[in-house]
Structure 1
Amino acid sequence: MMKGSSLSPATVALALLLLGILALIGILVRVRSKTAQNLFLPVSLIAGFIALILGPQVLGRVAGWLGWDPLVEGGIFGSEVLSVWSELPGLLISVVFAALFLGSPIPSPKRAVKLLGPQLSLGVTFAAGQYVIGMLLAVLILVPVFNVTPMFGALIEIGFEGGHGTAAGMAPVMTEMGFEEGGDLALAMATVGILSGVIIGVIAVNWAARRGHSKTLDVKANRDPEIAAGLYRRDLPSGGLQTIRSESLDTLTMHIGIIALAILIGQGMLSALQALEQWLWADIIEIFAYVPLFPLAMLGGVILQLIADKTGLAPLIDRGTMERIQGLALDTLIIAAMATLSIDAIANNLGPFVILAAAGILWNVFVLFALAPRFIQSFWFERGIADFGQSMGVTATGLLLLRMADPKQESPAYESFGYKQLVFEPFFGGGLVTAAAIPFIAQLGPYPLLIVMAVLLVLSLISGFFYFGKRSTFVVEGSA
């Protein structure tokens, strides 16, 4: 399992147990720290920071200065535990994406377009714009001034739109393409994205409340200590339903099996695409040879859900259980990825990194406040803040901000955002476009991707301004 290593099962087990302990410490910090609560920091991110500090990048360096050699290589965890953690993100990201649509009915294309038109235009504007901004900066400033690879331009979308999971999942691809520091930079970009997204989002929610831009906002709900602490003390929600009798098989075991089957289907599709590429066009360009497994695992999950819908087996797949498995994989992934983050990669590329991060933040803020009101005429803030949160971090960030803006679910934002995800996720934020962007740039240069994303951005702007934006009131009324 581990590259070139012979780690014992006991070491692997210890590494997993330590991740659980770090998560518990993160919960304690979130409950006790007002700063963490005000920033709505995810516990996985808190735990990842703690692991980073106690690992070789921080504690190890201090130990080296003090002559404490046993702590230099692996911090308090040891080098073998770090070796296990470094491999986990690439494995767990397929679990996260395979479960993305399992347990959710797949809408027909006609209904999807009717419900999510403005939302999809806004989401594509966020994502395609991140590529356009990043590639333009790479071509005009970063490559000529800082002498970095053009692949730098894709980091905004990978880190912001994709989040920590996608950044970790794309790290092996970037390494294979000669961008060895890309994985660490993408993780750092994801951290900047989620922190700035939550901070700006909280400010935006309070601004919308004061200026009357939200029809559903309850400012008092945003100060609920239960939400701030990240705990449920009342009205406990169900973590999943029993869809199969326990004397036959535990429901959790069955759901893990379904995810495993989705991943295997994804692997089969990826292998078939790679074989087809080698047969037809590999002499010209290779894309699927470097595409990671996780976007195809997501499509494997969609295929299984479609089969379940058609055969009447859909009730056996519980969305809540899938979300619990997905959440476990994502939390573990983030802690492990943050624990193995290289500070050197950020320090060595600080100038271009800061330029990219600042440009990405400014673009997302511009889209939220300048374009969202023109794309979506009814409930624009509630629907816009969800996409803003996702474009700065992960889907969970978008839903967090949406919950703050619409705590009683009085707007159509939840429904339209959910349907938009079904169309959007297979391509951006860790989908096929994200997966193919790095090998595309590495083999064809920055301009083809820049042109394609610029055309897509123009189309999303035109559809948002002149078509979906003018019909958004009708869509809201028809779907409410």
Structure 2
Amino acid sequence: MPSRLKLEGLAHCLLFCYYYNMDIVTSFAGLSLLIVIGKFLRVKIKLLQRLYIPTSVIGGILGLLIIQIGGDAIPAGWTAGWAKLPGFLINIVFAALFLGITIPSLSTIWKKSAPQLAYGQIVAWGQYFTALLFVLLLLKPLFNIPDVFGVVLPVGFEGGHGTAAGLKEAFETFKWPEGTDFALASATMGVVSAIVVGIILINWAARKGYTHKLKALNQLKKGEWGGFYNKDQRPIAGRQTVSADSIDSLALHLAIIGIAVLIGYYIKWGMLGYEFLSPALSKLKILQGFPLFPLCMLGGLLVQLVVSRFSRVSPIDHSLMQRL
């Protein structure tokens, strides 16, 4: 009798999970599990520590391996919504960039950023020029691949996974949806090559004493190898800006990011409306393929300007924004 009751209880639980869609629970739990396992591997495996590989990358690679090996045996609910997360979360990352900081004057911005801006433009457009030239002169005549394949290298290396996912709509606009997968693969190769080459250079610089904040591995204490702070040396993650009696500070900061994303969304909506009304732009479909995340960054900048102008005490803490 007890065994029968247990089986009936198990059946009821399975029916509950089936009829009351639990995909959102398993999807969130699956991501959380990969992050925790990734951190555990980072702590236990010395090679990962020596390579300074972030926990998120370790967990992502582990998840990719599990999905590829498990195949159809893995319930779809465990990965529900994962494909859409990068394209959405990159908007949040860019929306928070300017929130909580003092916006300097244009002359100060230009003076401090001009060298880095020039370097970035040389690298970015150099990648576009090299990749497009390689495609037009070699790959297209030999393999008849589309011209847009030339943007895979810069989107992956210069942009990264977030940019590749954010440009999914642009690839679909130009009738090459496979471009997103190629760009993500390019970004993965960029991360791997950057880790291998970059870590070699970082370790060399740390041993030579050229780094200011990074210690050489042989100078780290045992607890620091896994990426943990000592209990008496833990930095402050952020400061609460409002009383918890009214609203939690993290909730307020998340809501402000949502407003910045909303502004970016309506800017994109206005751009699409303008393109629809312009016959010339409607044929090119340039604005239709324009990604949302830079507009969310602009939305965050506008929110910060309004807060700086009209609020005597800023409700935004940049450190909390970085944590989010």
TM-score, structure 2 as length reference: 0.85
Does 2:143 correspond to 1:146? yes
Residues 174, 180 of structure 1: 8 Å contact kept: yes
Residues 103, 314 of structure 1: 8 Å contact kept: no
CA distance change for structure 1 residues 250 and 211 in 2, over 3 Å: closer, same or farther? closer
CA distance change for structure 1 residues 98 and 216 in 2, over 3 Å: closer, same or farther? closer
The CA distance in 2 between the partners of 1:8 and 1:290, in whole Å, is 37
CA distance change for structure 1 residues 46 and 223 in 2, over 3 Å: closer, same or farther? farther
CA distance change for structure 1 residues 303 and 41 in 2, over 3 Å: closer, same or farther? same
Q: Could you tell me which residue of structure 1 aligns to residue 70 of structure 2?
A: 59
Q: Which amino acid aligns with 1:287?
A: I
State the secondary structure of the residue aligned to 1:232: coil
The CA distance in 1 between the partners of 2:292 and 2:92, in whole Å, is 10
Count of aligned residue pairs for this structure pair: 303
Q: Could you tell me which residue of structure 1 aligns to residue 317 of structure 2?
A: 318
Does 2:54 correspond to 1:42? yes
Does 2:214 correspond to 1:224? no
Alpha-carbon offset, residue 146 of structure 1:
2.4
Q: Could you tell me which residue of structure 1 aligns to residue 176 of structure 2?
A: 179
1:155-212 residue CA offsets vs partner (Å, 9 max, x unmatched): 2221112222122222243234322222222222212212221221222234456789
Alpha-carbon offset, residue 218 of structure 1:
6.8
Alpha-carbon offset, residue 223 of structure 1:
5.1
> Which residue of 257, 261, 269 corresponds with 1:271?
269
Does 2:176 correspond to 1:165? no
Q: Could you tell me which residue of structure 2 aligns to residue 98 of structure 1?
A: 95
Q: Could you tell me which residue of structure 1 aligns to residue 303 of structure 2?
A: 304
Q: What is the RMSD computed on CA atoms of the aligned residues?
A: 2.4
State the secondary structure of the residue aligned to 1:229: coil
The CA distance in 1 between the partners of 2:227 and 2:145, in whole Å, is 40
Does 2:257 correspond to 1:245? no
Residues 241, 321 of structure 1: 8 Å contact kept: yes
Q: Could you tell me which residue of structure 2 aligns to residue 130 of structure 1?
A: 127
Q: Could you tell me which residue of structure 2 aligns to residue 21 of structure 1?
A: 33
Residues 209, 217 of structure 1: 8 Å contact kept: no
The CA distance in 2 between the partners of 1:189 and 1:111, in whole Å, is 35
Q: Could you tell me which residue of structure 2 aligns to residue 116 of structure 1?
A: 113
1:279-337 residue CA offsets vs partner (Å, 9 max, x unmatched): 12334422111223222111100110111122235631111111111xxxxxxxxxxxx
Unaligned ranges ≥5, structure 2? 1-18
State the secondary structure of the residue aligned to 1:173: helix
The CA distance in 1 between the partners of 2:146 and 2:200, in whole Å, is 35
The CA distance in 1 between the partners of 2:208 and 2:230, in whole Å, is 32
CA distance change for structure 1 residues 9 and 204 in 2, over 3 Å: closer, same or farther? same
The CA distance in 1 between the partners of 2:214 and 2:295, in whole Å, is 40
Alpha-carbon offset, residue 8 of structure 1:
5.9
CA distance change for structure 1 residues 12 and 102 in 2, over 3 Å: closer, same or farther? same
Does 2:161 correspond to 1:191? no
Residues 159, 186 of structure 1: 8 Å contact kept: yes
Q: Which amino acid aligns with 2:119?
A: L
TM-score, structure 1 as length reference: 0.59
Q: Could you tell me which residue of structure 2 aligns to residue 365 of structure 1?
A: none
CA distance change for structure 1 residues 271 and 142 in 2, over 3 Å: closer, same or farther? same
The CA distance in 2 between the partners of 1:221 and 1:38, in whole Å, is 7
Q: Which amino acid aligns with 2:180?
A: G
CA distance change for structure 1 residues 304 and 210 in 2, over 3 Å: closer, same or farther? same
Q: Could you tell me which residue of structure 2 aligns to residue 377 of structure 1?
A: none
1:74-122 residue CA offsets vs partner (Å, 9 max, x unmatched): x43x123333212222222211211122112222110111122222211
Correspondence list, 1:398-413, <5 A = none
Does 2:273 correspond to 1:261? no
The CA distance in 2 between the partners of 1:222 and 1:168, in whole Å, is 38
Alpha-carbon offset, residue 241 of structure 1:
0.8
CA distance change for structure 1 residues 186 and 218 in 2, over 3 Å: closer, same or farther? closer
**Bigger-Rg structure (1/2):** 2
Residues 26, 77 of structure 2: 8 Å contact kept: no
State the secondary structure of the residue aligned to 2:81: helix
